[in-house]
């Protein structure tokens, strides 16, 4: 009795084709709905418009125009500044919590980590709506501050200003920063910290010479994602930032949808993309290191 | 536990930070019960009327149902795309693997604004798809990235010897998948489905660009945020937020429990 | 039934190359039906790769693999009549013990009642009666090992492949499982091919042992021949830790050791047909060496050496010493005999007819 003959044979050709068949749908999908749209943006950015109609051409006028319009410059600068500020603020705010979860939370660490990330899954529009309730002139924060006598008149800078945009962005991306930091900090062995303390390093020196350098991969990766997402974020500035000081993403959207000048908007989008890819490229080494350590 | 102890400062700070993270959620839920037509402190009277009002608002409920329907499609589609790809990436030698991974990761780091605008340009070639189909296609693109990443790491951790044992005992590729792989990764698969659903459900920017006359819930809220906002919105948001929190937390706790079980065995 | 090959497995010059290095090189081997063969060798020598070429998880770079006389090169693992016991057991965690056992039979589309009957019989055979409904996570190491064995045995494969099956067990359990494996092999009459890097396990279990080194097959022979007539220096050293002394064959069959004050008259059989001038190594088993103030009469090879170390391990004492030129010697002798003193000079002696030659 030979069992081999009871088992149906499958053609080797079909077997060899299985891996390709598994990968192909996703790859094709991403080419059509990710690569092609991005390529189209690049393409359109060198076209022209004439009385609201797209003219295929090859011109750098749109890019030159960006640099000629100070309003766009200011928006770009404000976006970069805000994203940078948000990144630093997130790093400072996230670090102690990541440290606490990684080193002090014991068996609660899983749940605490999930609890940090959970708000991230709520629709951004709803999160922003909630912040409007908090930050408005008659919002919760002003009401509480006035009741406590901290201020006489409502603080009007809280809503519809770069401040409120920054608060909204910090709120949105703080969870994203905790994750890589947590991963990096949990990779620091307690022994190393112990060793530093045993060598009579003060807690401060231990922090700056052991903990901080070893969490650098997490810090950098978190920073990149925070910065990149903050730079391109649209909903938060649009709903919290008010209409006076526009961010770059708002200008792009305005160009595309209200002024219907696609080539000009596409050129700005390309500038945004270049910034994003520059940030990613500069930190690639660190992203590799961090993902290697967490085993992703 | 190491000796570098910060006493009560670290826990206290953490409590404050969690308060910051959950403050907006608490506020929106609280104001959903505020009896005033324009919500604000102090809340003198509580009511549940806004909940019934929002559920009676056909336009709001319609957008909610649209969101659920489209997100469900995107979640199923993206998981179906992601699962075989993640298996191949994790288990088979793939030529130009880093290129494929870049392709997969791209939509994660690409500003949604840019993806949305690019898709607007793309769909000029197929204007009939604008609306629900375009939204599903776009959301699938975005969520399949996350889904592939999550499943890829799950499959990397999957013990190869289970597969070899099955094949060795006479199970072909498909039978092995059905009898061994699928039952063992089912929890992760469900978790990924849930997270993809949540992500697609809440996405606004890209959907807004491609919506045409279709209205998803985030779009409906966006529209109402530009006018005087009705407490009905807060009531519905509160419901949705609580469900979202429940779904995402349980999905992630599930994944967490899975990986812990894997480590122990 | 047509004429069957007497060999359950036949390897014909198989090699497996990974990039620039060969995991297995040019291995040929015939494994008779019903034999218990172990593949023995140091870590990384290609044992698992060889086993996985038989089971179909690794495709040979060159050469041919035959099962029951038929080439299986194009056949997928599930098309080959092999069953494997994995080092980590790979028991399906979502199935009970009985479901694990039944898996291979279900794949062969065997009737339900027949499956139930055979599962019961297998539970009996591997001493797990009443454990059928347990979850595999509730099994102890030894029990899990038995389930893994049963799951592979139940399909009555042409070859049962075992990759370090006892590697995860503690010493006592390991001894017990060795005995059980041996009994099961004898009772069922199936062909077993096991991988191990434990030479004692290989010697106890198998009819024949394949010793591998650096991807190549050094020797494939019975345990006794491996021990008494090793083919290479490596085998002599790896199996039984022999003393090896470089030597040279002189005129008239006399062999002169380079470093020992020793010449031996060896029979033609011992010389293995090697001619004058050939460089060889003398293989002297530690067990054949006696250490004392004088040599027993029949020990015609005698050297004087300084005693470095004496280690007792139960019934045997291991004595190491060195000659004036630094050559080291190891002897095993009964712990009942008087031990020489450390640092003292003693006579190390052995009978010349127990010496074996390998190529130098
Ligand atoms: N898939 C692979 N790719 C590259 N090299 C491999 C691969 N599989 C095995 N090797 C190499 O082939 C050699 C033999 O490996 P193999 O697993 O057969 O050794 P082994 O004798 O079973 O060792 P051990 O006793 O440690 O299990 C090793 O050097 C290993 O690094
Ligand atoms: Mg091995």
- pLDDT per residue, tens digit, chain A (296 aa), is 344 434 445 556 666 788 888 899 999 999 999 999 999 999 988 887 776 677 777 778 888 888 888 888 889 999 999 999 999 999 999 999 999 999 887 788 888 988 998 898 899 999 998 898 888 877 888 888 888 888 777 787 778 888 889 999 999 999 989 998 998 888 888 777 777 777 777 777 888 888 888 888 889 989 999 999 999 999 999 988 877 888 899 999 988 888 888 888 899 999 999 999 998 888 877 777 766 544 43
Q: Pick from C93, C99, C149, C150 the residue to mutate for testing the B interface (most B CBs within 10 Å).
A: C93
Q: What share of chain B is helix, strand, coil (3-state, %, to 5)?
A: 80, 0, 20
Atom 3, ligand 1: residue with shortest CA distance = C18
Testing ligand 1's pocket by substitution, the residue of C20, C25, C49, C168 carrying the most ligand atoms inside 8 A of its CB is C49
The reply to whether ligand 1 has any atom less than 6 angstroms from the CB of C52 is: no
- Give the CATH class of C241-359: mainly beta
Residue pair C7/C28 in contact (Cβ under 8 Å)? The answer is no
Nearest alpha carbon to residue A283 among C234, B109, B162: B109
| Residue C131, pLDDT above cutoff 60 | yes
User: From residue C170, how far is each of C48, C182, C201 by CA, in Å?
Assistant: 21, 18, 13
- Whether C79 and A4 lie within 8 Å, measured CB to CB: yes
Atom 18, ligand 1: residue with shortest CA distance = C46
Q: In chain B, which residues have their Cβ closer than 8 Å to the Cβ of C93?
A: 184, 265
- Whether B111 and A249 lie within 8 Å, measured CB to CB: yes
CA of A13 to the centre of ligand 1 (A): 28
For residues C157 and C160, give the distance between their C-alpha atoms in angstroms, rounded to a whole number: 6
- Whether A38 and B115 lie within 8 Å, measured CB to CB: yes
For residues C143 and C168, give the distance between their C-alpha atoms in angstroms, rounded to a whole number: 12
* B101–A contact, CB cutoff 8 A: no
- The residues, ordered by sequence, that sit 6+ positions from C156 with a Cβ below 8 Å of its Cβ are A1, A3, C188, C190
For residues A262 and A260, give the distance between their C-alpha atoms in angstroms, rounded to a whole number: 6
The angle that helices B112-123 and A36-44 make with each other, rounded to 10 degrees, is: 80
* A125–B contact, CB cutoff 8 A: yes
The correct CATH number of C7-233 out of 2.30.30.180, 3.40.50.450, 3.40.50.300, 3.40.50.720 is 3.40.50.300
Nearest alpha carbon to residue B70 among B188, B202, B186: B202
For residues A83 and A229, give the distance between their C-alpha atoms in angstroms, rounded to a whole number: 8
**What is the DSSP annotation of A136-190?**
STTSHHHHHHHHTTS-SS--GGGSSSHHHHHHHHHHHHHHHHHHHHHHHHHTS-H
- The residues, ordered by sequence, that sit 6+ positions from B138 with a Cβ below 8 Å of its Cβ are A33, B115, B116, B119, B206, B207, B210
**What is the DSSP annotation of C49-113?**
HHHHHHHTSS--SEEEEEETTEE-TT--GGGSSEEEE-TT----TTSBHHHHHHHHHHHTT--HH
Selecting from A8, A29, A40 the residue whose C-beta is nearest the C-beta of B144 gives: A29
More confident of the two residues A241 and C99: C99
Listed by start position, the domains of chain B span 57-227
Radius of gyration of chain C (CA): 24
**pLDDT band at residue C190 under the 50/70/90 scheme:** very high
The angle that helices B217-225 and A124-135 make with each other, rounded to 10 degrees, is: 30
CATH superfamily of B57-227: MetI-like (1.10.3720.10)
Q: What is the greatest pairwise CA distance in chain A?
A: 95
Q: Residue C360, preceding bond cis, omega within 30 degrees?
A: no
State residue B86's pLDDT score.
93
User: From residue C4, how far is each of C34, C83, C153, C159, C201 by CA, in Å?
Assistant: 13, 20, 21, 15, 31
Q: In chain B, which residues have their Cβ closer than 8 Å to the Cβ of C108?
A: 170
If you ran DSSP here, which 8-state letter would residue A259 be given? Answer: S
Return phi, psi of residue A191, to 5°: -60, -40
Atom 10, ligand 1: residue with shortest CA distance = C23
The reply to whether ligand 1 has any atom less than 6 angstroms from the CB of C197 is: yes
CA of C217 to the centre of ligand 1 (A): 15
Residue pair B151/B188 in contact (Cβ under 8 Å)? The answer is yes
Which chain C residue has its CA at the smallest distance from A12's CA? C74
- The residues, ordered by sequence, that sit 6+ positions from C274 with a Cβ below 8 Å of its Cβ are C249, C280, C357, C359
Count how many Cα atoms sit within 13 Å of the Cα of residue B111 in the half-sphere of its side chain. 30
Tell me which residue has tokens 């051409």: A57
| Residue C98, pLDDT above cutoff 60 | yes
Tell me which residue has tokens 């660009």: B209
User: From residue C238, how far is each of B195, C29, C48, C312 by CA, in Å?
Assistant: 56, 20, 18, 21
Q: Pick from C5, C78, C105, C106 the residue to mutate for testing the A interface (most A CBs within 10 Å).
A: C78
Classify residue C347 as exposed, middle or buried by CB count within 10 Å of its CB (0-12, 13-18, 19+).
Answer: middle
- Whether C93 and B167 lie within 8 Å, measured CB to CB: no
Mean pLDDT across C161-171: 85
User: From residue A37, how far is each of B111, B141, B142 by CA, in Å?
Assistant: 12, 11, 13
Selecting from C76, C107, C157 the residue whose C-beta is nearest the C-beta of A15 gives: C76
Return phi, psi of residue C68, to 5°: 55, 35
- Whether A6 and C109 lie within 8 Å, measured CB to CB: yes
For residues B189 and B197, give the distance between their C-alpha atoms in angstroms, rounded to a whole number: 12
The reply to whether ligand 1 has any atom less than 6 angstroms from the CB of C57 is: no
Nearest alpha carbon to residue C87 among C43, C22, C131, C33: C43
State residue C173's pLDDT score.
83
Q: Coil, helix or strand for A295?
A: coil
CA of C79 to the centre of ligand 2 (A): 23
Residue pair C76/C127 in contact (Cβ under 8 Å)? The answer is no
| Average per-residue pLDDT for chain C | 89
Which chain C residue has its CA at the smallest distance from A3's CA? C81
- Distance from the Cα of residue C205 to its chain's centroid: 8
For residues A252 and A211, give the distance between their C-alpha atoms in angstroms, rounded to a whole number: 41
For residues B61 and B65, give the distance between their C-alpha atoms in angstroms, rounded to a whole number: 6
Classify residue B142 as exposed, middle or buried by CB count within 10 Å of its CB (0-12, 13-18, 19+).
Answer: buried
Q: Rounded to two decimals, what is the model's pTM?
A: 0.83
Could you give the domains of chain A?
A: 69-290 (1.10.3720.10)
Listed by start position, the domains of chain C span 7-233, 241-359
The reply to whether ligand 1 has any atom less than 6 angstroms from the CB of C16 is: no
For chain B, 265 residues long, the average pLDDT of each consecutive 10-residue run is 66 92 91 78 79 88 95 96 93 85 87 93 91 95 93 89 93 92 90 91 94 92 82 89 88 74 50
- The residues, ordered by sequence, that sit 6+ positions from C4 with a Cβ below 8 Å of its Cβ are C33, C68, C69
Residue pair A211/A79 in contact (Cβ under 8 Å)? The answer is no
What is the number of the ligand 1 atom nearest to the C-alpha of C16? 12
| Residue C1, pLDDT above cutoff 70 | no
State residue B9's pLDDT score.
85
Ligand found nearest the CA of C213: 1
What is the interface pTM, i.e. ipTM, of the complex? Answer: 0.89
Looking at chain C, list the stretches that DSSP marks H as alpha helix, in order from N- to C-terminal side. 47-55, 97-107, 112-125, 141-153, 171-188, 199-205, 223-228, 233-238, 268-271
Structure-block tokens of residue B183:
């039952």
């Amino acid at each position: 009795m030979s069992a081999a003959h009871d088992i149906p044979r499958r053609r080797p050709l079909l077997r060899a084709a299985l891996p390709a068949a598994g990968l192909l749908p996703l790859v094709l999908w991403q080419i059509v709905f990710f690569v092609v749209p991005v390529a189209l943006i690049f393409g359109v950015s060198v076209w022209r418009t004439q009385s609201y109609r797209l003219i295929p051409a090859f011109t750098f006028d749109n890019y030159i125009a960006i640099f000629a319009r100070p309003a766009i410059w200011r928006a770009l600068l404000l976006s970069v500044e805000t994203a940078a500020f948000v990144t630093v603020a997130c790093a400072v705010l996230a670090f102690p919590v990541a440290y606490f979860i990684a080193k002090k939370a014991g068996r609660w660490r899983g749940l605490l980590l999930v609890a940090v990330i959970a708000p991230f899954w709520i629709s951004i529009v709803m999160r922003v709506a909630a912040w409007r309730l908090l930050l408005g002139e008659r919002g919760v924060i002003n009401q509480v501050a006035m009741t406590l006598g901290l201020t006489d008149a409502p603080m009007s800078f809280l809503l519809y200003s770069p401040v409120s945009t920054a608060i909204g962005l910090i709120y949105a991306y703080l969870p994203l920063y905790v994750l890589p930091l947590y991963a990096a900090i949990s990779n620091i062995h307690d022994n190393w910290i112990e060793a530093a303390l045993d060598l009579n390093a003060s807690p401060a020196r231990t922090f700056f010479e052991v903990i901080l350098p070893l969490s650098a991969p997490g810090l950098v990766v978190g920073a990149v994602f925070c910065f990149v997402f903050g730079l391109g974020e649209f909903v938060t500035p649009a709903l919290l930032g008010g209409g006076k000081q526009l961010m770059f993403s708002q200008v792009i959207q305005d160009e595309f949808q209200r002024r219907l000048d696609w080539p000009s908007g596409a050129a700005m989008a390309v500038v945004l993309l270049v910034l994003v890819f520059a940030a990613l490229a500069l930190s690639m080494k660190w992203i590799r290191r961090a993902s290697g350590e967490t085993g992703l | 536990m190491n000796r570098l102890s910060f006493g009560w400062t670290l826990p206290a700070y953490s409590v404050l930070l969690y308060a910051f993270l959950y403050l907006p959620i608490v506020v929106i839920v609280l104001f959903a019960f505020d009896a005033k037509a324009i919500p604000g402190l102090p809340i003198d009277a509580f009511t549940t009327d806004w909940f019934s009002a929002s559920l009676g608002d056909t336009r709001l409920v319609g957008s909610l149902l649209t969101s659920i329907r489209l997100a469900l499609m995107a979640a199923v589609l993206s998981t179906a795309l992601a699962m075989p790809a993640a298996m191949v990436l994790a288990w088979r030698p793939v030529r130009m693997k880093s290129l494929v991974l870049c392709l997969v990761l791209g939509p994660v780091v690409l500003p949604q604004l840019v993806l949305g605008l690019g898709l607007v340009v793309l769909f000029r070639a197929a204007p009939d798809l604008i609306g629900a189909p375009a939204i599903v296609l776009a959301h699938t693109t975005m969520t399949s990235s996350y889904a592939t990443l999550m499943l890829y790491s799950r499959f990397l951790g999957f013990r190869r010897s289970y597969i070899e044992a099955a094949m060795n005992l006479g199970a072909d590729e498909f039978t092995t998948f059905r009898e061994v792989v699928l039952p063992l990764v089912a929890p992760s698969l469900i978790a990924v489905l849930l997270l993809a659903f949540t992500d697609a459900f809440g996405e606004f920017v890209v959907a807004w660009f491609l919506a045409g006359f279709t209205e998803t819930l985030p779009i409906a809220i966006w529209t109402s945020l530009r006018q005087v906002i009705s407490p009905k919105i807060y009531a519905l948001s509160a419901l949705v937020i609580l469900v979202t929190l429940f779904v995402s937390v349980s999905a992630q706790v599930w994944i967490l429990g899975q990986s812990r079980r894997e480590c122990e065995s | 039934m047509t004429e069957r090959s007497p060999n359950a497995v036949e390897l014909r010059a198989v090699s497996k190359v990974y990039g620039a290095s060969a995991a297995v090189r040019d291995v040929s081997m015939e494994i008779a039906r019903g034999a218990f063969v172990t593949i023995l060798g140091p870590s990384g020598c290609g044992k698992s790769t060889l086993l996985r070429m038989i089971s179909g998880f690794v495709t040979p770079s060159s050469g041919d693999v035959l099962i029951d006389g038929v080439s299986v090169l194009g056949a997928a693992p599930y098309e080959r009549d092999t069953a494997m016991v994995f080092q980590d057991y790979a028991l399906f965690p979502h199935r009970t013990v009985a479901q694990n056992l039944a898996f291979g039979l279900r794949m062969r589309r065997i009737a339900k009642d027949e499956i139930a009957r055979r599962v019961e019989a297998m539970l009996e055979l591997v001493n797990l009666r009443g454990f059928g409904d347990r979850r595999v996570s509730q099994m102890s190491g030894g029990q899990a090992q038995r389930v893994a064995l049963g799951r592979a045995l139940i399909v009555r494969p042409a070859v049962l492949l075992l990759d370090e099956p006892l590697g995860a067990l503690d010493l006592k359990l390991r001894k017990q499982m060795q005995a059980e494996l041996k009994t099961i092999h004898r009772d069922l009459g199936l062909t077993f091919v096991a991988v191990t890097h434990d030479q004692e396990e290989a010697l106890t279990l198998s009819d024949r042992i394949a010793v591998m080194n650096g991807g190549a097959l050094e020797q494939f022979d019975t345990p006794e021949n491996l021990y008494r007539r090793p083919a290479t220096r490596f085998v002599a050293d790896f199996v039984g830790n022999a003393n090896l002394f470089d030597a040279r064959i002189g005129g008239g069959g006399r062999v002169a050791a380079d470093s020992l004050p020793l010449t031996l008259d060896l029979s033609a059989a011992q010389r293995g047909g090697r001619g004058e001038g050939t460089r060889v190594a003398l293989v002297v088993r530690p067990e054949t060496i006696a250490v004392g103030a004088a040599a027993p009469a029949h020990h015609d090879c005698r050297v004087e050496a300084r005693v470095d170390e004496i280690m007792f391990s139960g019934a045997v004492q291991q004595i190491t010493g060195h000659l004036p030129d630094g050559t080291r010697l190891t002897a095993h002798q009964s712990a009942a005999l008087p031990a020489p003193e450390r640092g003292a000079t003693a006579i190390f002696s052995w009978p010349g007819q127990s010496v074996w030659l390998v190529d130098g």
